[in-house]
Structure 1
């Protein structure tokens, strides 16, 4: 993975998580997910505004068009978000 695609992926993960948190305030994050969010928030400033806006739109669309319909998030009694470790040995 190139440094640029890694940056884009981290920002997209951050934004998707933020959209879910904003939409469903009762969501909880694992320690790993919380640490990843804290780490990755600074990466938003590394992108140009046009790309950042496109990634924000993609994160919102993902929630609206796939996550919520697929998993019925609005009907879940609780939601916990975790993020994969940086070096997933199983992929």
Structure 2
């Protein structure tokens, strides 16, 4: 299959980082008339998956020793006038 050969070539040239959207753009630049869903389906059937290069960074410290802030509103969000309860 001509499209699959191009997908494999572009995948190896991108060092495995191209997913469905960028792969579709590359194939269209080569001159192939393909849709994004078709490219995604071909990649999925042939187990061609992009490699994630960045890991998720955890920014929440759940083990802190600080106390929990006081609940001043206690669920009462109705204000008498504007800019009273923030």
- Coarse TM-score class (shorter-chain normalised): under 0.3
TM-score relative to the length of structure 1: 0.24
The structure carrying a bigger strand percent of its residues is: 1
Q: Which structure's relative contact order is higher, taking Cα pairs within 8 Å and 6+ residues apart?
A: 1
Pick the structure with greater CA Rg. Answer: 2
